[in-house]
Structure 1
Amino acid sequence: MMRIGSRHACLPKANARRPVRSVTLMVACAVLGPVAAHGTELTPSADSSRCLPEQSLHWRGGTLRLENDLFTGTDRNYTNGVALSVVSRDLQGALRPECLPQPIAWYTRFIGWADPEFWRDSGARSASQNIVVRFGQSMYTPEDKTRTDLISDDRPYAGLLYLGLAWNRRVQPQAASYEMLDVRELTLGVIGPWSLAEQSQDLVHRVRGIDRFRGWDNQLRNEPAFQMAMERKFKSYTEGAVRPGWSGDVIGSYALRIGNIETAASTGVELRAGWNIPNDFGSYPIRPGAENRPPSGVSDLRRTEPQSARAPKPGAHAFLNLEAKAVAWDFSLDGNLFRHSHHVSRRPWVAQAAIGISSQWIVAGHGVRLAVMRVWRTREFDQQIGHHAFGSIALSMEF
């Protein structure tokens, strides 16, 4: 996992209510230290004009995700989330930061400085990596939309607008029957009125003819938001773009997220069963982590004639996703980190289950995928009445 242990100078003493402050500021110091990381060369320096196509950045597709609890007949707690992600083609061979756009090259060197083991064996023939850029917004509200005063025994009004940059590294260990996906995602954004959560919700409610929430004047205050997410997933190894025919598989995962958006550790499992299951690492609600697809090399085979046996194929499958999480900080419950704000009594343990259906097709030579799921989440704070549920839909397309 991530190693930032030598930067003790960045660590302040934490007080009783802010146990995550020291860890959060530690990450901030690391993130703001790309100059130090800049000297970490992953490969010998070379002229960028000699970069091979598979060492340079080329986009291959995107995904639009929408989540809302109106799908389940409620309008409270985590009430809406939207995210647009773009995914690069696989980068093959030894990693060459000088072949990448400068901000991504800086992030690559930062990972090499903070977590050197992440790039171990990155040039192996069984390894590939890709890049995901994600832009999104999330909003949270209490249950009573009519009150204009601060509701002290319900969650705060809160919004988050963010931009995430993730590295996915996929590798099959030597002589192993399984493969792994390691993810490092840095998320930067803003909490508070600058997130535009109030304006976004008002617009949607006005278009749909729904009464608007009247307590947004009590929302959390503006402050920068950041998070580092580290995740590993693993499943049985599969060649090609799909697991052909009727089959099933199991995907395991564990993750650590650090920052003032959320600080938490989680573990989960996904069960899939269906026809032509895609060779990826599963479906899930919006969260930091992988936006992963079948390797781009086999994805390109959808255009070949005659079609290769390894090419993408239409298919559909059902999935069940289970996750348990230990939470040390959640901005939507704990409030602002850098100033006093409304907060509630967060519960340290949260469980989540999602069930859904995913299907993929080839349309005019492009890969298209639709995933629909319903998500149930246990109580997140002591004053919450019952569990929470919301719906999620994701539409993906290969360019």
Structure 2
Amino acid sequence: MQQSSQYSRSLGIKVWRQMPQAKVLAACALLGPFAACSTELTRSPDLRCLPEQTVHWRGGTLRLENDLFTGTDRNYTNGVAFTVVSRDLQGALRPECLPQPIGWYARFIGWADPEFWRESGAQSASQNVVVRFGQAMYTPEDKARFDLIPEDRPYAGLFYLGLAWNRRVHPQAANYEMLDVRELTLGVIGPWSMAEQSQDLVHRVRGIDLFRGWDNQLRNEPAFQMAMERKFKPYREGAVRPGWGSDVIGSYGLRVGNIETAASTGLELRTGWNIPNDFGSYPIRPGAENRPPSNVASLRTTNPQATQAPKPGTHAFLNLEVKAVAWDFTLDGNMFRFSHNVGRRPWVAQAAVGISSQWVFVGRGVRLAVMRVWRTREFDQQTGSHTFGSVALSLEF
């Protein structure tokens, strides 16, 4: 009897080991849609995580925006954001090979938007992760008034953390490539954003009069937004388009949440020397962080220099965007409680003109982008359009 029991148990273990798909199906039944089961079923029985399937941080970008650059101090008056981006992940998605929060987010995308991963395992596809955190502040025009100003926008601040997934795909035999972005932003609106303290600190250091009406700012509430965007441009290999050239980048996107709910479409025109093989330059917003493929960016240290390696270059760009806005917390106020608000305009257009330059310094890739941004009136009572400056400094680790 004991020998029979041992034989049955060993036979069961042998059969189970020879049925890797059965294991996955059992896990899918237990974990549900977040398990990303369709991707798991395509992987090999070797469950080890390869280096190209794990997250390794590649570089970062610091962005600063302020309307003092253009001689005003109102509306969108300051924004700062720091982003870090990973090296490209290759092959089919392996959530279990990622840091836990990123793995959870990958499974969430697979559940909420299954089409996003459809081509993730294609030979022409790569993906990377972007983490972004920052702060934004908005003020009315009259800084001396202590009372609420009904005809001007509310005092508002936002502190946030964003997690984005970029998927870059070159469709077979096509002369173009696409960058799809899914970015989730979580944060806080109101005094907890520390917008008042940040502005006061900068104004004191620079000897500028303080805004007196921050007691009327929007109240504390959680902030969230899901952004989905697609960009597309002519396909190129290597880190740059060598020599003099020009290109056009198109985009369209959707953002949903109490930070902003809007649909947008845009166009960027670039011309210059050694234009980088990325998807353009933007002011602070979801989906702004993108770079040439990391496998060619790492060639900057080769000797002799590889033909696909990064090269110094400079280009000018013109960025145009139009969006239909259904909600904007800086104008509509708090979503979950009564607050000051103004008459939001449903259509907003924006143009940015700038110069971007990249170079290699002591074996590191460095990039500086400077732009001036014009934005049409965002609410009915606004006195004219708004202008601000934007500076972004990027570094390859």
TM-score by length of 2: 0.90
User: Paired residue for 2:265, among 256, 264, 267?
Assistant: 267
Report the secondary structure of 2:90's partner residue. coil
Report the secondary structure of 1:118's partner residue. helix
Question: Is the 1:162–1:188 contact (alpha carbons within 8 Å) kept by the matching residues of 2?
Answer: yes
Q: Which amino acid aligns with 1:39?
A: A
Structure 1 position 40, deviation (Å): 2.8
2:30 equivalent to 1:38: no
Deviations 1:173-203 (A, max 9, x none): 1110000000000000000000000000000
> 1:105-254, aligned counterparts within 5 Å?
105-254=103-252
Sequence identity (%): 82
Deviations 1:115-165 (A, max 9, x none): 000001211110000000000000000000000000000000000000000
User: Paired residue for 1:382, among 380, 383, 386?
Assistant: 380
| Whole-Å separation in 2 of the counterparts to 1:217 and 1:185 | 32
Q: Which amino acid aligns with 1:113?
A: W
| Whole-Å separation in 1 of the counterparts to 2:334 and 2:238 | 46
Structure 1 position 39, deviation (Å): 2.8
| Whole-Å separation in 2 of the counterparts to 1:47 and 1:359 | 46
Q: Which amino acid aligns with 1:358?
A: S
Report the secondary structure of 2:369's partner residue. strand
Q: Which amino acid aligns with 1:76?
A: R
Question: CA distance change for structure 1 residues 224 and 36 in 2, over 3 Å: closer, same or farther?
Answer: farther
Q: Which amino acid aligns with 1:388?
A: H
Q: Which amino acid aligns with 2:40?
A: T
Question: Is the 2:241–2:274 contact (alpha carbons within 8 Å) kept by the matching residues of 1?
Answer: yes
| Whole-Å separation in 2 of the counterparts to 1:146 and 1:36 | 56
Deviations 1:77-127 (A, max 9, x none): 000000000000000011100000111001000000000000012111100
Report how many aligned residue pairs link the two structures. 365
Q: Which amino acid aligns with 2:105?
A: Y
Deviations 1:312-349 (A, max 9, x none): 00000000000000000000000000000000000000
> 1:314-393, aligned counterparts within 5 Å?
314-393=312-391
Question: Is the 2:192–2:220 contact (alpha carbons within 8 Å) kept by the matching residues of 1?
Answer: yes
| Whole-Å separation in 2 of the counterparts to 1:255 and 1:47 | 38
Structure 1 position 43, deviation (Å): 1.8
| Whole-Å separation in 1 of the counterparts to 2:197 and 2:211 | 11
User: Paired residue for 1:61, among 56, 59, 62?
Assistant: 59
Q: Which amino acid aligns with 1:303?
A: T
Report the secondary structure of 1:232's partner residue. strand
Give every structure 1 segment of 4 or more consecutive aligned residues whose post-TM-superposition deviation is greater than 2 Å. 35-42, 44-49
| Whole-Å separation in 2 of the counterparts to 1:230 and 1:333 | 22
Which residue pairs with 2:50 in the alignment? 52
Q: Which amino acid aligns with 2:140?
A: P
Deviations 1:192-251 (A, max 9, x none): 000000000000000000001000000000000000000000000000000000000000
TM-score by length of 1: 0.90
Structure 1: any 5+ residue segments left out of the alignment? 1-34
| Whole-Å separation in 2 of the counterparts to 1:290 and 1:230 | 12
Structure 2: any 5+ residue segments left out of the alignment? 1-30
Question: CA distance change for structure 1 residues 114 and 324 in 2, over 3 Å: closer, same or farther?
Answer: same
Which residue pairs with 1:32 in the alignment? none
Q: Which amino acid aligns with 2:34?
A: H
Question: Is the 1:183–1:290 contact (alpha carbons within 8 Å) kept by the matching residues of 2?
Answer: no
